[in-house]
Structure 1
Amino acid sequence: MRQVAVETALFHELRSQDQWQRKMASISSEIDRMPTTTTLEESSLERLRKKIDLMQIIYPRLTSRTRSTPDGSTTPGSELEVAMETRAVASLLVVTQEVIDIAHELIRGNREQAKTALLRMQTSIGMVILAMGALIVFVWLLVSRRILQPLRIFEQGTKQLAAGNYAHRLKLVQNDEIGDLAEEFNAMIQRVEAAAVELGKHRDNLAEQVLSRTTELTKAKVVAESLSQYARSLIEASLDPLVTISAQGKITDVNDASVQATGVPREQLIGTDFSSYFTEPEEARKGYQRTFSEGLVRNYPLAIRHKTGRIMDVLYNAAVYTDAKGMVLGVFAAARDITERKLLDQVLHEKNAELERATAAAEKANLGKSDFLSSMSHELRTPLNAILGFAQLIESDSPAPTVSQKRSLDQVLIAGWYLLELINEILDLAQIESGKIVLSLEPVSMVEVMDECRAMVEPLATKRCIKMTFSPLESAYFIEADRTRMKQVLINLLSNAIKYNKPGGSVILTCAVVAANSIRINIQDTGTGLTPEQMAQLFQPFNRLGRESGPEEGTGIGLVVAKRLVELMGGTIGVESAVGVGSAFWIEFKLKTARQLDIEDAAQVVLARPPVPEGTQARTLLYVEDNPANLELIEQLLARRSDLRVLSAADGNLGIEYARAYQPDVILMDINLPGIGGLEAMKVLRSDPSTAHIPIIALSANALPRDIEKSLAAGFFGYLTKPVKLDEFMDHVDLALKSPAAGWNADVDRSF
């Protein structure tokens, strides 16, 4: 045991470990060989074996706590490993003490053997104690050099770092974790030093920025104060009362105009209820609440009461104002004094009422004038008809009048026909001004209208030696107009261009498309032309522009009628003139797509009718129409109806004569006809017993309900509107053909 204890001091060496194992095995063998005489000795030996086994377990743990360095030396591990090794040594000492105690027991049982064993065990235990002491000293020195000294170095480094000495570095060189930690610590100090330098730069820069910002804020404060003073001066400069109102309805600020309006000083106004300064406080509060709900109120009528009792009528304009976060703080309101304007409005209202009464009286007088002119025109037609009629009878009587009588009759006829023309113009103007004129707007072919007008004015041009030139149209243009009135306008313009031309002059009519959907008809003459003053008075009624004493007769209303007819048909009229050069009158209309005559469609409609039994007598339909295109459409539509025979008349008078002569089964009557209109022609036929039974169907481009009702009430059997729907047209014709010969039921709805 003594030898084992000595060698234990060197247990960190492999040789010592091997010797330890061999000695412990030898001790175990000796214990096994020891003789026992009593049960107590056997028990003691058994306990001793167990303690030896425990020592063999503790020793390997003690040797495993060390590690080898690259040079072969051993170094302790961490502080935890050193503590565990110390505990292992202590445990080994305890077990050794227990072994000694067991040995004492054996000695007492067997002194001779015990003495020998005890001596050897004491030696071993002494060696173990010496080894343990040496180990503890070694471990302490190692911990002091490897751990405590570096910790003191680290402590000194942290103190230098805390004191701001960033140039300090740890002078510690070890090839272990503590050495690595020292290197990281030095690197950290280096980074802190760099950061401190950078921070110093930023601190200097920040100081400069703070100084600059402080200067800017000072300047901004000066500007803000200036702006505030400027804004205040603007508010005070306003002639309108301005006020800011809090969310609770209290006045927070006012301008001097508000003080003048209320008569209350600014200090007394601020903090009071704003509505208390109005004649109707409740209305003021409603306007304030409306401003909050809608965000804005314009021209809200109120009245401010001055403390003296004076009332100021105002219109308030108010809006909410908010803070930087968008929270509504209150209302900003401005009042506009309208007291004088209200008085002016009242005066204006009274003047307007007087003007309306005067206008109504003038319109009534104008209507009376138009009614008078219309009535007188009709009254004049009757004696004029007799004059012209008897003059023509005398002219054609046998024996023929003498030369002197012939000259007198010619003057009577010329004057009579001119008087008839004047009466017609006056009647047209009266109807236009009274709104009684009825237009039948439909697609009108410009080629057809111009050809008809040319044929009517060429004799007058030939008589006055005026050359007429009509430029050919590039294509078949159609406009939406009243065919008869369109011819009336063109004939009036052409007649004026001939009458007011110079001898041997010329008249040129051209048509040109001036836009994508407009056409202009231009009539250029070579007359004396018009001055700017004359052009300014050109379209005034009964104004002949100073030509009353000239050789040409007239009333001065032809151009007025032409202008108003053109405008009623949706067109425009104008003139360009130069003194000594001539004048150019033009009218402009929108182009219209003409209704295409589709014979096949008409045939399909006609053939869809039930076949007519053989031997059935054909019925006669009289169509009174001045538009060749419409006439052709109806003729083609009825061409394959074997049960119908179509007659046509170009004007109302001829239609009346045809109706009396041919007794048709049904009459199709256009409303707007030259000479006598369709409505007048229908009344004539209704008043004649020989034609009163014939059903007459009106055909017109006018689709206004009041015109349809008026026509049906006047006596028409039915009313068709253009463009004609073929099925409805044929149904209407069949309905008229089935009506009793003596009359028809007025309760049936016949408007299509």
Structure 2
Amino acid sequence: MIEHISFSPALQLSDDIELLRTTVGRFQRIFNGSGYGFWEWDLQTQHIEWSGGFWERLGYGPEDAESISDASKVLTYMHPDDREFAIEAARQHLRSGKPLDVSYRIRTKMGDYIWTQVRADSLRDEHGHARIMSGVNFDITEIKKVEAALRESEARQVRIIQASSDGIWEWYADRGGFHFSHRCWELLGYDDLDDVLTEGEDRLKIWRKHIYPQDLSKFDNALVEHMAGRAPFDVEYRLISTQGEIRWIRGRGRAVFNEKGQPIMMSGSNMDITEVKRAEERVIQAKEQAEKANRAKSDFLSSMSHELRTPLNAILGYTQLFEYDGNLKTQQIDNVREIRKAGEHLLQLINDVLDLAKIESGNMTVSLEPVLVSRLITECFTLVQPQADAKGIRLSSLLAEFSNTYVIADHVRFKQALLNLLSNAVKYNYVGGEVEVKLIAQPGQQLRISVRDTGRGIPLQRQSEVFQPFNRLTAENTNIEGSGVGLVITKQLVEMMQGYLDFTSAEGMGTTFWIDLPMATEWNADSIVRTSTNKDYTPASLNVKRRCKVLYVEDNPTNIRLLQQIFARYPQLELDVAEEAFLGIYKARSTQPDLVILDINLPGMDGYEVLSVLKNDPDTRAVPVIGLSANAMPYDVERGRNAGFYDYLTKPVDIHRLIEVFNKLLHDH
């Protein structure tokens, strides 16, 4: 008996449906990923069913689905100039039965147009009537650009050649080589009739033979990278003409790629930039000369600072010594302090010039942080109060609701800027006048700190000169002290802190300067402590009881005598002097001093070399060494501290500062 096996029709149908779903899903993914538009047009219902990402790439979304599915409405997306042509092509297809192949422009969601190519065929009934048309749309914008470029090639070359002296070149993959315009060959010194151009040799090879050998790899690499689609073709290189002249060329070009990413053509130009390169060389030379001049200026300022500080060391040093004598009369003490004030003013003028040079060279930096404005105003008032009291000028501040307001600034530089404005407001004010500081909110979270005086004001015709360095606006004809660089420094400091400085002035009525700085988040202000208003000229106290040996290595007799007289006032300190470097090293090794004071500018061996010897010698490496020099440029101080000096003091020597160092280094054990 033969047993029959039967299959369930329902099970078979289910498998077929699942297979169909899988296949449809796969094709749907392929369609959507291609960016093409696959469609079917029911000619009876005029409904178009779309697949793929074509319309999405044009910017359309689900809200546009109804329009693009209606055959009559789809026509409105076509460029008006292409509409009739596309309709006629469809009619020809329906009449002839030949596949439809037509290109037209179609509008994107943004309103511009791209080129699309349509290929389609129809499903017809037994009578030959088309019922359903199926096809595909794909973007051929780039191809159209290539076609347009090819059509315009000759005309473009003519126009460019007529309007420019640049050489034009083109390359076509299907023509096998480069075409160079006559101007390209002129750059090399050739004539169109030269035999070398008519022998059929590859013209790119001829061109490459004239490329400067060191630039050949750069040219080749730029071309290869561009042809691979990795970088634009824009390269500068040198050519050697037939006469041996070297000329600079800037070659720029752009390749056109097919759908496979393969270059099919490339057009470009050769610009003669020889004169530009020569101009660049002149600019570089000028820049080098400017840098050289700037270095010379810095050297001059450093030398000037050193030369002025050396005599100031004696002036200020000896005036400080008088203050240590207890037998001077009050009038004599006052006279000495006037000398000291004048010397300190001269020192401040030197520092102002160095500050200006530091800003101009870009070597000054700021550290921005929240700064409590009210406290800073109090600190500055404290410093200018004696100056104001001497002229009977009243200082006042109007803080309003900003007593706890912070701004973003560099505390030291902000204080320097505000102090300079206040000092000027007092200096250029009338006796019995007024100086007012006022805080005002400005748009953009800015706080304005204004300084108003009731002084003589600035003439309108001179106000444009306010921020010119060394211009004192006729104040040089008065007894008012100044260098003419304070406002220049102030303006640049404020701008370095991302602030703004300006002023208004009326002659005979006064001047108002203001600083605008960005406000910061508010903090609770600590209690503001008013400090003493007078500079302390009281002789410093040496807190050293034991006997200490100090070695001073210095070649300037005046500086030596000054330190000898300073030390004479402190019997517990024994000063030994070495007037040249080698003797100083010998004495340091043999006497083992407690401290070495070392000048930098020594004959034969400078202070840094002496310091290095002392630090590398086991017998002296533990001896602290401080630098004392008239080299006071910022980089001098920084270099000194980095070199290993315990401290780096500048001349003129400040006896208070010197005694502070002694107290730290020579304290009793």
TM-score by length of 1: 0.45
Give a deviation string over 1:451-484, Cα, whole Å, max 9, x none: 3443554565465454543103533234576767
* Counterparts in 2 of 1:233 and 1:327: CA distance versus 1, 3 Å: same
Aligned match of 1:559: 487
Report whether the alignment pairs 1:240 with 2:166: yes
Instruction: Decide which of 164, 176, 184 is 1:258's aligned counterpart.
Output: 184
Aligned to 1:545: 473
Give aligned-pair identity as a percent. Answer: 21
Show the counterpart of 1:279: 210
Contact 2:421–2:451 (8 Å) recurs in 1: yes
Report which of the two structures shows the higher radius of gyration computed on alpha carbons: 1
- Quick one: structure 1 residues 545 and 229, their matched pair in 2 at CA, closer, same or farther if it must change by over 3 Å? same
Using the alignment, how far apart are the partners of 1:715 and 1:308 within structure 2? 67
When residues 324 and 231 of structure 1 are mapped into structure 2, their CA distance, relative to the original with a 3 A threshold, is farther
Among 449, 459, 469, which residue is 2:376 paired with?
449
In structure 2, give the amino acid aligned to 1:315: R
- 2:448 corresponds to 1:520: yes
Residue type at the aligned position of 2:458:
L
Q: Distance in 1 between matches of 2:381 and 2:352?
A: 25
Q: Which residue of 2 aligns with 1:577?
A: 505
2:643 and 2:179 mapped to 1: Cα distance? Answer: 74
AA matched with 2:449? I
Shift of 1:336: 1.3
AA matched with 1:240: D
Aligned equivalent of 1:509: 437
Larger relative strand fraction: 2
- Indicate if the aligned counterparts of 2:356 and 2:485 stay in contact, CA closer than 8 A: no
Provide closer, same or farther for how the CA distance between residues 379 and 413 of structure 1 changes in structure 2, counting only shifts above 3 A.
Answer: closer
Alpha-carbon contact 2:210-2:241 (below 8 Å) kept: no
Name structure 2 gaps, 5 residues minimum.
1-89, 97-101, 103-143, 547-565, 574-592, 595-623, 625-634, 648-663
* Residues 1:480 and 1:370: Cα distance change in structure 2 (over 3 Å): farther
8 Å CA contact retained: 2:466, 2:473: yes
Shift of 1:537: 3.2
Deviation at 1:497, TM superposition (A): 1.6
Please report the RMSD computed on the Cα atoms of aligned residues, expressed in angstroms: 6.0
Shift of 1:588: 3.9
| Cα distance in structure 2, aligned partners of 1:337 and 1:271 | 24
- Aligned residues of 1:479 and 1:590 also touching (Cα < 8 A): yes
The Cα shift of 1:440 comes to: 9.4
Assess, with a 3 A threshold, how the Cα gap between structure 1 residues 555 and 294 changes in structure 2: closer, same or farther: same
8 A contact 1:510–1:523 mirrored in 2: yes
- After TM superposition, the structure 1 = structure 2 runs for residues 351-370 of structure 1, keeping only pairs within 5 Å, are 351-370=286-305
Deviation at 1:509, TM superposition (A): 0.9
Distance 1:627 1:379 in 2: 39
1:382 is aligned to 317
* CA deviation map 1:26-65 (0-9, x unaligned): xxxxxxxxxxxxxxxxxxxxxxxxxxxxxxxxxxxxxxxx
Q: Counterpart of 1:416?
A: 339
Conservation of the 8 A alpha-carbon contact between 2:323 and 2:538: no
Output the amino acid matched with 1:538: V
Q: What residue identity is the alignment partner of 1:230?
A: A
1:288 to 216, 220, 223: 223
Q: CA–CA distance in 1 between the matches of 2:365 and 2:182?
A: 66
Match in the other structure for 1:55? none
Comparing 530-539 and 359-368, the one that deviates more: 530-539
Q: Tell me the alpha carbon deviations over residues 281-328 of structure 1, each in whole angstroms, 9 at most, x when there is no partner.
A: 854544433332345444423344545555532121233223577542
- Distance (Å, rounded) in 2 between the aligned partners of 1:546 and 1:313: 55
Taking structure 1 as reference, are residues 653 and 413 closer, same or farther at Cα in structure 2, changes over 3 Å only?
closer
* Kept in 2: contact 1:431–1:437 (CA 8 A): no
Q: CA deviation at 1:447?
A: 2.6
* Contact 1:250/1:270 (<8 A) preserved: no
Residue 470 of structure 1 corresponds to 397
| Corresponding residue SS for 2:198 | helix
| Structure 2 counterpart of 1:393 | 328
Q: Is the partner of 1:552 in helix, strand or coil? A: coil
Which has the larger share of helix? 1
The amino acid across from 1:587 in the alignment is I
CA shift in 2, pair 1:336/1:708, >3 Å: closer
The residue identity in structure 1 corresponding to 2:452 is: Q
Sort the Cα spacing of 1:552 and 1:715 in 2 relative to 1 into closer, same or farther, 3 A: closer
Match of 2:263 among 323, 328, 337: 328
CA contact (8 A) 2:169 2:178 kept: yes
Deviation at 1:521, TM superposition (A): 1.5
Letter in 1 for 2:472: R
Contact 1:530 1:583 in 2 (8 A): yes
Aligned pair 1:534/2:462, yes or no?
yes
> Does the 8 Å contact 2:452/2:511 carry over to 1?
yes
Counterpart in the other structure of 1:300: 235
- The verdict on how the C-alpha distance between 1:715 and 1:472 changes in structure 2, with shifts beyond 3 A counting, is same
Query: Is the CA contact 1:250–1:274 (under 8 Å) kept in the aligned structure 2?
Result: no
Per the TM alignment, residue 530 of structure 1 is displaced from its structure 2 partner at its CA by 2.3
Distance (whole Å) between structure 2 residues aligned to residue 270 and residue 504 of structure 1:
97
SS at match of 1:530: coil
Q: Tell me the secondary structure at the aligned position of residue 710 of structure 1.
A: helix
The equivalent position to 1:318 in structure 2, one of 248, 253, 262, is 253
Q: Which structure exhibits the higher relative contact order, with contacts defined as CA atoms closer than 8 Å and separated by 6 or more residues?
A: 2
Structure 2 counterpart of 1:370, which letter?
S
Amino acid paired to 1:419: A
8 Å contact 1:242–1:255 — kept in the other structure?
yes
Aligned CA distance change for structure 1 residues 293 and 313 (closer, same or farther; 3 Å):
same
Deviations 1:54-98 (A, max 9, x none): xxxxxxxxxxxxxxxxxxxxxxxxxxxxxxxxxxxxxxxxxxxxx
In structure 1, C-alpha distance between the alignment counterparts of 2:448 and 2:348, rounded to whole Å:
25
Aligned-partner SS, 1:548: helix
- SS of 2:476's partner is coil
1:522 positional shift: 0.7
Confirm or deny: 8 A CA contact 1:387 1:416 kept in the other structure.
no
Deviation at 1:425, TM superposition (A): 1.7
